[in-house]
Every structure is written in structure tokens, then in C-alpha cells.
Amino acid sequence: MIGRLSARYGPPAAAFAVFLLAWEAVVRLARLPPYVLPAPSLVATTLIADRATLFASLWVTLRTTFAALGLAIVGGSLLAILFSQWKWLERALLPFAVVLQVTPIIAIAPLLLIYLPAWGAVLSCAFFVAFFPILANFSLGLASTDRNLLDLFALYGASRRQTLVMLRLPAALPYFFAGLRIGAGLALIGAVAAELAAGASGQETGLAFRIVEAGYRLDIPRMFAALVLISLAGIAIYFSLSALAHLVLRHWHESGGV
Amino acid sequence: MSDAVVVLKDVGKTFANGTRSLAHLNLAVQAGELVTLLGPSGCGKSTTLRLLAGLETPSSGTVAVPARKPGQVGFVFQDPTLLPWATVADNVLLPLRLQKMQAAEARRRCTDVMRLVGLADFARAYPHQLSGGMRMRVSIARALAPRPRLLLMDEPFAALDEISRFRINDDLLRLKKELKTTIVFVTHSVYESVYLASRIAIMAVRPGRVTEEIAIDPPLPRGADLRTSAAFLGYCDRAMRALGRAAAEDRR
Ligand SMILES: Nc1ncnc2c1ncn2[C@@H]1O[C@H](COP(=O)(O)OP(=O)(O)OP(=O)(O)O)[C@@H](O)[C@H]1O
Ligand SMILES: [Mg+2]
């Protein structure tokens, strides 16, 4: 077990450690000033020193991300289920979803900021980007149910509801998780992008605003520290969702949920 | 003819894309028979089974399956077609659950058929943990659980190796005897066809139809050396010649 884990995670961890050490060495040997490139050690100390502000901002950003993701899961899944039951509804509504998807969210944000309070605009942006991959993947999953299994259900006189609950929904789960993983990552990106667009107009300030703010003050180490937090949050979300998918799908196949 | 489980009269099937799959197909199956449909690829064997199951409707002619109520007809597809997220037991229980059978009764039936197909110890396994042959057994158990009057099997053992196939053929004959089910069995293999059948229906292609029927009467004596016996090989020879005639008719 330990051997397998170290074989799997050893190389990337070692590569990352080497990367950090090289970075640290370059900064020290070349005597680069912190406003050009801060050493990883300085980024770490800044992260600790400014933890009160930074973590409060992280919490704001994460709250937006999770709220948007939650709404996207509910909205995307419900719509996907409705689409799978009534094809005409899909034909009627899919164009709207596609328009929302292909328009860069950062271009819609200023408009949303006019119509909505800052928190609402940020939440909407994060929601829009997370919504589509969940809808699209889940829809695909609901539409690609094994034909033979559908025949089997028809043979036994299964009702529409039985077919949906006992066959189509579970069969679409791997697709749902694939969409969820993409959607969650995009929700974080959408939240950060919308925060950048919103600037200081909100009362609560997310991590993106901290980056802009530190930029104005040429506080480069703090910019890096905020960036590190965003990346870590993204990685944590990705891996926890992968773990969840694996847990739910582990019986299907060896490759379940990876 | 009162015991007919299946009567196909002058059946034609043309698909929406214009493919003429079957034309003037006639076939009757009596209760307790095991009829094999033997014919080249594309002659409409699967289409015939799907018509019998009510999964397709004929374009012309009549399909009469008096027993056709949910649960009275079982279907074993070429692939095991199991729910990958459900245990073996839950897969076998599926048709019973769809019929909303009482849980206790369903459990009992499930245990019975699992014993019958030799899977009693694998109730809690998942399909991906089983071999191909075992998965096929699960599929058969699932089809048998509602105690169907008619069992339709579409090349169920095509993916198995010879040895597993021989064994599962014997099991099928034993199950049929115990459950007194009528079976329509599709196969490509002349040997499998002769081994299993009480009657063989030879089919020709373009359009698909039954050209000849070979009754295996009296029944071949089952035993280890049946496959090498003169009677068995004689029937194989007859079936092969009939297939040849069907193919020649096609060329004309
Ligand atoms: N849904 C469909 N739409 C159009 N054509 C079809 C459809 N199903 C079957 N066919 C056509 O009908 C013909 C008979 O098909 P069928 O699957 O019944 O043959 P088969 O005897 O089972 O062949 P095989 O031994 O390869 O399984 C083929 O030409 C096939 O292409
Ligand atoms: Mg076929």
C-alpha cells in the first residue's frame, strides 16, 4: 500500500520539491528583490503573516464558488432530466444554454453588475460557467443508456419512472461526475473572474480583489500568496470530487470514477 | 395447435430505412419445444426474436404470442446486459422488482434461480468481478426468475470458449427440463443448434425467412459421447446441407 502510494505520488512530489528549491536558489543567488520575484519562503511567510485577511477572502470566494456550484448542480441536473423526458423541451431550450456557454463570461460580467448587486453578479457568473458542463455531460449520460438494457426494461413493462430511476439515472452517474468535476473547476474560475470585474464594489472582498489590491501596492509576495491559495482551493476541490466519484462508482469497474 | 406458444404467419419486417429484414416468414413453436434459429449473419434472426418479444412490430403478417405479458417472456441478449452498478442478486431481482413482486417472494425466487444456474455463492458480487461465462449465467438467471413461459435467447454463448459453451449448453438443457420452459434459441453454430434443439429452423438471407425445418426426433440420447455419435453427426450434416440449399436459393 505504502509502496503503491509512493510510486504514484512520489515522482510528482519530488518534481515539485525540486521546482521550489530551484526557485528559491535562483532568487537568493541572483539577489532578486521581492518586488521582482519573491522566493517561495517569502510567499509562505507572507501567507502566514497575512492569514487573517487572506483566509477571510478565500472564504468569501469559496462561498461564492460552492453556492454557484450547488445551484448549477440542481439546475443542470433538473434540466438534463427534463430534457431526457421531453425532447421538444431540449430543442426549445438548448440554444439558450449554448448561447450562455459560448459567450465569454467576463464579457457578460459588466452587464450583470449593472443589473444585480455585486454579490449577485459574481454568483451568477460562477453559476453560468458551472451550469453548462453539468447539463451537457448529464444530458449525454441520460441519452446514452445501453439500448439492450432499455429493451430489457421495455420487455418487463417498466414504467417511465422506473426506467428513469432504476436505469437512466444510475447509468448516467459517471457522466454526471465528469461534468461535476469540470463544473466545479469552472465555478472557481468564474467566481474569481467575476470578482476581478466587480472590483471593490462589494462589501465583502474575495481573493481576486486581494490580488488586484496587492498589485496596486506592488506587494508582489502577497499577490503570490493569494494565487497559491486559489490554486490550492482548486486542487482540493478537484481531488475531493474525484474521491467522491471513485467512492460512488467503485463497484462498476476497476476504472470506476477515475 | 392449441399448445402453440408462438405462431408467426407470413411475417414481413421492413425497417424505416428501407432494409427488408424479413419476408413471408412462417414459424410455429409448441409448448415445451426448444427451437433453434440457424442461419447466416443478417438473415433476421435477431429481428425475429425482437418481434416475438414485442420489441418490434411486424410490417406485415401476424405475430401471435399468447403468453406475451410482462414476465411471461424472458430475453437473453448476446451480451449479458447487466446493470454494472448492481450486485448479481439485484440484477436477478430486477424483473421481479419491475413487476412489483413482494420482496420476500422475490428473494426466494432469486435464491432458487441462482442455485439453479450455479451462482449461489456470488449473490453479492458485482458483474465486473465475474468471468464472461458467469455473467451469462446471471443473465439467464434473471430471465428465468419471473418463470417465463417463453424464453428467447439471441446467440447467448457466442462469446464463450468451447469448453464453457459445452458446459453451459448442458446446464441450459437441464434447466429447461426442470422449468418446462419453451425456448427459441438463435445461433450461428450448426453443432450447438443440433445439440440443443428439438427442432431446427433454417433461415435464408435477403429477405430473411425460414426455408426448412429439421425435427430432432426421437430426441438424441444425452451423454458425454453424444457430440461424436453417428446420429449427432448425421443431424449436423443435414443441417449443413439445408444451410447450403438456403444459401444457393439466395444466389439465384
Ligand atoms: N433497427 C434496424 N434498422 C434498420 N435495419 C435493421 C435494424 N435491425 C436490423 N436491421 C437489418 O435487418 C437485417 C437482419 O438483421 P438481424 O439483426 O435480425 O440479423 P441476424 O440474423 O440477427 O444477424 P446476426 O447473426 O449478424 O446477428 C440486417 O440486414 C440488418 O442490417
Ligand atoms: Mg443477431
Using DSSP bridges, classify how beta strands B150-154 and B182-187 pair: parallel, antiparallel or unpaired.
parallel
Please report the DSSP string for B175-195 in residue order.
Answer: HHHHHT-EEEEEES-HHHHHH
Average pLDDT estimate for B178-192: 87
ipTM value:
0.84
Backbone Cα Rg of chain B: 18
Residue range of the domain that includes A5 = 1-31
How many domains does one find in chain A?
2
Distance in angstroms between the alpha carbons of the first and the last residue of chain B: 35
Residue A16: how many CA atoms within 13 Å on its side-chain side?
Answer: 5
| pLDDT-derived band at B28, boundaries 50, 70, 90 | confident
Looking at the CA of residue B20, tell me the nearest atom of ligand 1: 12
**Residue of higher predicted confidence among A251 and A39:** A39
- pLDDT above 70: percentage of residues in chain B: 96
Distance CA A55, CA A246 (A): 30
| pLDDT-derived band at A258, boundaries 50, 70, 90 | very low
CB pairs under 8 A between A and B: 56
Distance CA B136, CA B131 (A): 9
Residue of B nearest to A147 (CA): B81
Distance CA A48, CA A58 (A): 14
Output A243-249 pairs: Cβ under 8 A, ≥24 positions apart. Answer: A244/A177, A245/A174, A245/A177, A245/A180, A245/A181, A248/A173, A248/A177, A249/A173, A249/A174, A249/A177, A249/B85
Q: Please enumerate in sequence order all residues whose Cβ is within 8 A of that of B54, keeping only pairs 6 or more positions apart, or say none.
A: A155, B65, B68, B73
Give SS3 for B200.
Answer: strand
Q: How far is the CA of B153 from the centre of ligand 2 (A)?
A: 10
Using DSSP bridges, classify how beta strands B199-204 and B34-38 pair: parallel, antiparallel or unpaired.
parallel
| pLDDT-derived band at B90, boundaries 50, 70, 90 | very high
Whether B80 contacts B136, CB under 8 Å? yes
Q: How far is the CA of B48 from the centre of ligand 1 (A)?
A: 10
Span B33-77, pLDDT tens digits: 899 998 888 888 899 999 988 888 888 878 777 777 777 888 999
Residue of A nearest to B98 (CA): A158
| Contact yes or no for B98 and A166 at CB 8 A | yes
Minimal C-alpha gap between B160 and chain A (Å): 19
pLDDT given for residue B176 in this prediction: 82
Chain A 2-61, CB below 8 Å of chain B: which residues? none
Crossing angle, helix A51-85 and helix A87-102, to 10 degrees? 150
Residue A179: how many CA atoms within 13 Å on its side-chain side?
Answer: 26
pLDDT given for residue A186 in this prediction: 92
Residues A2 and A59 in one domain: no
pLDDT of residue A153 exceeding 90 = yes
Ligand 1 site residues, Cβ closer than 6 angstroms: B 15, 17, 19, 21, 41-47, 208
Residues in chain B: 252
| Contact yes or no for A253 and B83 at CB 8 A | no
Residues A4 and A106 in one domain: no
Residues A14 and A79 in one domain: no
Distance CA A41, CA B27 (A): 84
Q: Which ligand minimizes its atom distance to the CA of B154?
A: 2
Chain centroid, CA A175 distance in Å: 16
pLDDT given for residue B49 in this prediction: 92
Residues A25 and A64 in one domain: no
Minimal C-alpha gap between A161 and chain B (Å): 11
Q: How far is the CA of B50 from the centre of ligand 2 (A)?
A: 10
Residues A11 and A103 in one domain: no
pLDDT given for residue A253 in this prediction: 66
Question: Of A153, A166, A252, which is closest to B128 when you measure between CB atoms?
Answer: A252
pLDDT of residue B118 exceeding 70 = yes
- pLDDT above 90: percentage of residues in chain A: 44
Average pLDDT estimate for A238-253: 87
Residue of B nearest to A165 (CA): B98
Looking at the CA of residue B45, tell me the nearest atom of ligand 1: 21
If you ran DSSP here, which 8-state letter would residue B129 be given?
G
Question: Of B54, B79, B99, which is closest to A148 when you measure between CB atoms?
Answer: B79
| Contact yes or no for B79 and A249 at CB 8 A | no
Residues A71 and A9 in one domain: no
Distance CA A165, CA A180 (A): 20
The mean-pLDDT minimum among A141-145, A202-206, B141-145, B228-232 falls in A202-206
Looking at the CA of residue B37, tell me the nearest atom of ligand 1: 21
Distances (CA, A) of A229 to A89, A214, B72: 41, 14, 62
pLDDT of residue A255 exceeding 70 = no
Q: Work out the mean pLDDT of chain B and round it to a whole number.
A: 84
> Could you identify the residue written with the cell 438443457?
B173
Looking at the CA of residue B43, tell me the nearest atom of ligand 1: 21
Q: Which ligand minimizes its atom distance to the CA of B39?
A: 1
Residues A23 and A137 in one domain: no
Average pLDDT estimate for A32-48: 88
Average pLDDT estimate for B172-197: 86
Distance CA A227, CA A235 (A): 12
- Domain harbouring A56, CATH code: 1.10.3720.10
pLDDT given for residue B1 in this prediction: 46
Chain B interface, Cβ < 8 Å to A? 50, 53-55, 70-71, 73, 75, 77, 79, 81, 83-85, 94-95, 97-99, 126, 128, 146
Mark out the alpha helices in A116-258 (DSSP H runs): 118-143, 147-155, 160-163, 169-198, 207-216, 220-249
- pLDDT above 70: percentage of residues in chain A: 95
Please report the DSSP string for A211-223 in residue order.
Answer: HHHHHHTT-HHHH
Residues A143 and A194 in one domain: yes
Minimal C-alpha gap between B9 and chain A (Å): 22
Residues A86 and A105 in one domain: yes
Span A73-115, pLDDT tens digits: 999 999 999 998 888 888 888 888 888 888 888 888 888 888 9
pLDDT given for residue A257 in this prediction: 41
Nearest to B111 by CA among B136, B144, B133: B144
Question: Of B50, B55, B81, which is closest to A146 when you measure between CB atoms?
Answer: B81
Question: Of A148, A162, A252, which is closest to B77 when you measure between CB atoms?
Answer: A148
Give SS3 for B147.
Answer: coil
Distance CA A134, CA A76 (A): 6
Span A192-224, pLDDT tens digits: 988 888 876 655 688 888 888 888 888 899 999
Residues A21 and A87 in one domain: no
Residues A145 and A174 in one domain: yes
Chain centroid, CA A26 distance in Å: 33
Residues A130 and A16 in one domain: no
